[in-house]
Structures are given as C-alpha cells and as structure tokens.
Structure 1
Amino acid sequence: MYVCVLSETGDEEIYHTKNGKNTILSGSLVSSVNNLRDINDQRGAFFVFPDLSIRLEGVYRLKFHLYELVDTMVYFRHCIISDPFTVYSPKRFPGMTESTELSKAFANQGLKIRVRTDLGTRK
C-alpha cells in the first residue's frame, strides 16, 4: 500500500510545502501487509505506517492506494481517502493521547510501533 496526503477538500496530492522546498509528508510512504489479530482476536490483513508525519500544520486527509504484486506484475486494486484530521504546530499541539487498543494489540504481537501508556502532564 502507498499513502499520499491531500488537502481537506481537494483531490490533488500535495508533495511540497507552500514554499515548494520541502516534502510535506515524511516517513515510510509504503507498507507491506501484516497478518495480525485485532482487539477481538480476529485475524486480519493490516497496513501500518508507524513513522508517517506531516511537516506543516493544517487540515489534511490521507489517500491510500492498494496494489497487488502477482509474479513480476503490479496491479492497482483500489484507493480510499481518510476523514480529515488536524496537524498542529509544536506551539499549538494539545498533547499526546494514549495509544489505541488496536495499536497496543499490534505491538503485543511484535509489530514495531511506539505505544504510549503513561502520558504524564504537559507543561
């Protein structure tokens, strides 16, 4: 699976910040399938992007493109767009929330993702 970033309302992919110098999306933009169990102990196929980040504050959506590799051929299968979400500047960031139960379940199965349990207080 490949991921790219879209504006809150547009369908055009955003690759650079407004000044055109930096890529707006950083981290691994491609994920292979992971066969894991969910919080109900059901097996599933999951694509995880543990180090994905957006460098510019604003409201965005992610677009996920699913491809299938068959022998030496690559086939596009489907794409889906996330709901809008907000990216904050460091000064406006409201603080971390605890990791989801699904994230914790994946980490318990050996997937290398950061899990937050003790959040403390932010000053």
Structure 2
Amino acid sequence: MIHRAFNISFLVVMCDACQKHTAPKTDGKASSSADINASGQLSTQVVRFPNGILDELEDNRYTATKLKNLVGASVASATKLYDLEGKLGIFFIFQDISLRTEGLFRLQFSLTDIGSPHSNSVNTATVSKVLAVVETDPFIVYTAKKYPGVVQSTALSKCFARQGIKIPIRKEKVNKTHITHKKSVRKSSIATVDLLEDDTEDDELE
C-alpha cells in the first residue's frame, strides 16, 4: 500500500508487443517481423502491408508499407486507485490497445521516471532510465473469422470503472425467462383483482 502523498506525476509506462517466432508470408497478406538487437531483446514489432501500384507500363508492382503492429495509446501515466481489497495502489491503464496481425504475442511494459532529479518538472537534460521491465504471459490474437467471442469483464476492471476510469465494461446478460415470468405473475394478479371486483358487483345486484 502506498502513501497518499507519494508523487506519481512523472511515472510512465510504455507498452510494446513481442512475437518471438514469426514466419514470412508470401500470399500477399500482412506479414510481421521482429528485430533482435545485440543483447537478444526484441525491439518494436513492425508489420508490412503490401500496396498495389500501377507503373508507367501498367504493370502491377507491390511495395510494402511498414506500420507498428501495436495500435492504440502505448504510453500510460500513473494513477492512484483502490484495488479489490480496498488498498490504494499505483496503476497504469491501457484500455484501447490492439494488434494488427494474428499470432502468439506478449506485451512488454517498461516503467520510467521522466521527472528531473533537481526540480519538480520533466527531465529534459538527461536520458531517463528504465526502472523496471515486465512481460505478460503469451496470448493469442485471432482474426475476425476465428474470434471466439468477447470475454467477461474482470472484477478489477469493474472496480476501476466504478472509480471513474474509462474502461469498456461488458454488460451482463439479463435472464429473459425470469423477466417474462415476472410479467406473467403481474398479469395474473391483475386478472384476479378484476375477477374479484366483478364478483363483488354481482353480489350487490342480488
């Protein structure tokens, strides 16, 4: 649990996608690749999309446009939130990231303090060091045809949403059978009341 006065103004986390095993595609569809530097770490993954162009001889030639595979806001600032146990903590929310291509991926998160060591401002004099790096477990990215469906929102996501964080929360399905049964019971009650009133009027006439 952190102290309320702890300054989180200059803490940021950068997100990147990693795919350690990729195979080149030759069917004209988007292909992906990941460059490995001297230390064996994976750099930013780039996908290549073919562009069909018509040259002077009216022959089709294909060039590749390079785009970052990770889509969305890949940098998040620190936010103080309460977890499921009611404890105050520091969290970094990435609510709109996605990937362009299918496959098996990991997300890599790098924590950096971009604050100046000499003043309460952004550090512009030196390079800010990465304080910690963590990777997620592998997960599968599907195409639209193979997509199995949206999973239920987690309890932690709902907890953050209640605190004002804009996270897409899936609404739970309402039991239609239960609602229909309630309506039927209500209609039966009204019919019973009407029937009793009619009987009362008949008794008065007699």
User: When the two structures are superposed, what TM-score results if normalisation uses the length of structure 2?
Assistant: 0.54
| Distance in 1 of aligned mates of 2:20 and 2:153 | 24
Q: Which runs of 5+ in 1 are unaligned?
A: none
Given candidates 10, 15, 25, the residue that maps to 1:3 is 15
Match status 1:39 vs 2:84:
yes
Q: Identify if the C-alpha distance between structure 1 residues 100 and 60 changes in structure 2 by more than 3 Å, giving closer, same or farther.
A: same
User: CA offsets per residue over residues 68-115 of structure 1, 9 Å max, x none?
Assistant: 122232332011111100000000000011100000000000001111
Aligned sequence identity (%) = 32
| Distance in 1 of aligned mates of 2:115 and 2:44 | 30
RMSD: 1.9
Given candidates 26, 37, 48, the residue that maps to 2:93 is 48
The alpha-carbon deviation at position 8 of structure 1 amounts to 4.6
| Distance in 1 of aligned mates of 2:168 and 2:132 | 28
Higher helix share: 2
**What is the match of residue 69 of structure 1?**
114
The 3-state SS of whatever aligns with 2:158 is: helix
Given candidates 105, 110, 114, the residue that maps to 2:164 is 110
| Distance in 2 of aligned mates of 1:93 and 1:119 | 20
Higher strand share: 1
The 3-state SS of whatever aligns with 1:70 is: coil
Q: Which runs of 5+ in 2 are unaligned?
A: 1-12, 22-35, 50-63, 117-121, 175-206
The 4+ residue runs of structure 1 with deviation greater than 3 A are 8-11
**What is the match of residue 82 of structure 1?**
136
Given candidates 47, 56, 70, the residue that maps to 1:17 is 47
| Distance in 2 of aligned mates of 1:99 and 1:63 | 22
The 3-state SS of whatever aligns with 1:65 is: strand
User: When the two structures are superposed, what TM-score results if normalisation uses the length of structure 1?
Assistant: 0.88
- Which shifted more, 69-78 or 43-52? 69-78
Q: Is the 8 A contact 1:7 1:61 kept in 2?
A: yes
